[in-house]
């Protein structure tokens, strides 16, 4: 039905987990210049929490989420989405296969975060990374630097295994359980270690971490990867609005 085509309709492939999807949607609202409801961008969201666990699949302990992610992406495509975004770090391990199968343009969460890190701290910056064990071990962030614009490079400062086990993972778990003060203390410990080893900007590559770390308390400027993706999502949608939509 052509009459229902909505310019700039975003497809959010969500449910991984469902709270991260809601968090992303809030950041999209915050990133949108708006005076009225109608200024906000249109989105269709497929929030399917039954998609198999991404971390378990990465570790070889569970089935691949790819088939269910493709089904969700095709659902968004049929609903008229012009762009697919996936507000889940670990799900990006299947980014290329997903994009091939769904056939719509996508924005990559890590690209968005790295572009923001370079914008904040400059070319050749040392980026400190705070994320889950699976995100770190998969190389999701460090392997993606090859997709930055050709003249751009970054250096990485990564947590040690001890810091992951003693600070980062306990910090994320504490935030998940609602113990924000405990989580903040653990994650600041890890952030300070990265800062002492030269990190000039901290990329927060996990949904829970921005709930307790921000520019006001971290030892270096922070980039919330989810917010970076939200800002680029809004920019894409607004760029498609050549004419007012109803």
Given the rule CB under 8 A, which residues bind its own copies? 1, 3-4, 6, 12, 15-19, 21-22, 25-26, 29, 36-50, 52-53, 68, 71, 74-75, 78-80, 245-246
Query: Is 131 a catalytic site residue?
Result: no
Active-site residue identified among 69, 88, 157, 213: 88
The catalytic residue among 13, 172, 190, 206 is 206
Provide the edge-to-edge strand list for the sheet that holds 201-204: 155-157, 126-130, 201-204, 222-224
Strand (E) or helix (H) holding 130: strand 126-130
CB nearer its own copies, residue 19 or residue 165: 19
Give the nearer residue to its own copies in terms of CB position, either 18 or 124.
18
- With CA atoms as reference, report the closest residue to 108 among 94, 92, 124: 92
CA-CA distance, 6 to 12, in Å (whole number)?
Answer: 15
Closest approach of its own copies to the CB of residue 216, in Å: 18
Q: Is 88 a catalytic residue?
A: yes
Shortest Cβ distance from residue 166 to its own copies (Å)? Answer: 25
Q: DSSP code of 164?
A: I
CA atoms within 13 A on the CB side of 108: 20
- Closer residue to its own copies (CB): 83 or 190: 83
Distance between CA atoms of 92 and 16, rounded to whole angstroms? 11
Least Å from the CB of residue 125 to its own copies: 33
Minimum CB distance to its own copies, residue 96 (Å) = 22
Q: Which is nearer to its own copies, 70 or 179 (CB)?
A: 70
CB of 56 to its own copies, least distance (A): 11
State how far the alpha carbon of 156 is from the alpha carbons of 4, 160, 228, in Å.
46, 12, 19
User: Three-state DSSP class for 161?
Assistant: helix
Which H/E stretch holds residue 175? Answer: helix 169-176
Considering beta carbons, is residue 29 or 148 the nearer one to its own copies?
29
Q: Which residues are catalytically annotated?
A: 88, 206
């Amino acid at each position: 039905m052509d009459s229902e085509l909505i310019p700039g309709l975003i497809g959010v492939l969500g449910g991984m987990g469902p709270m991260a999807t809601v968090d992303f949607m809030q950041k999209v609202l915050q990133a949108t210049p708006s005076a009225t409801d109608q200024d906000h961008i249109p989105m269709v969201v497929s929030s399917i929490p039954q998609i198999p666990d991404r971390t378990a699949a990465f570790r070889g302990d569970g089935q691949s989420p790819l088939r269910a992610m493709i089904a969700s992406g095709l659902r968004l495509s049929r609903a008229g989405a012009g762009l697919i975004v996936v507000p889940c770090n670990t799900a990006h391990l299947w980014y290329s296969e997903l994009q091939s199968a769904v056939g719509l343009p996508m924005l990559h969460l890590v690209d968005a975060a790295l572009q923001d890190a370079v914008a904040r701290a400059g070319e050749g910056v040392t980026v400190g990374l705070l994320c889950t064990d699976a995100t770190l071990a998969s190389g999701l962030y460090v392997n993606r630097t090859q997709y930055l614009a050709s003249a751009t490079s970054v250096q990485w400062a990564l947590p040690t295994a001890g810091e992951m086990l003693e600070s980062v993972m306990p910090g994320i778990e504490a935030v998940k359980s609602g113990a924000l003060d405990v989580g903040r203390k653990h994650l600041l410990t890890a952030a300070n270690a990265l800062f002492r080893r030269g990190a000039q900007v901290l990329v927060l590559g996990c949904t829970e971490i921005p709930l307790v770390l921000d520019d006001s308390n971290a030892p270096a400027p922070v980039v919330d990867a989810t917010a970076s993706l939200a800002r680029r999502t809004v920019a894409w949608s607004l760029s498609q609005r050549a004419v007012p939509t109803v």
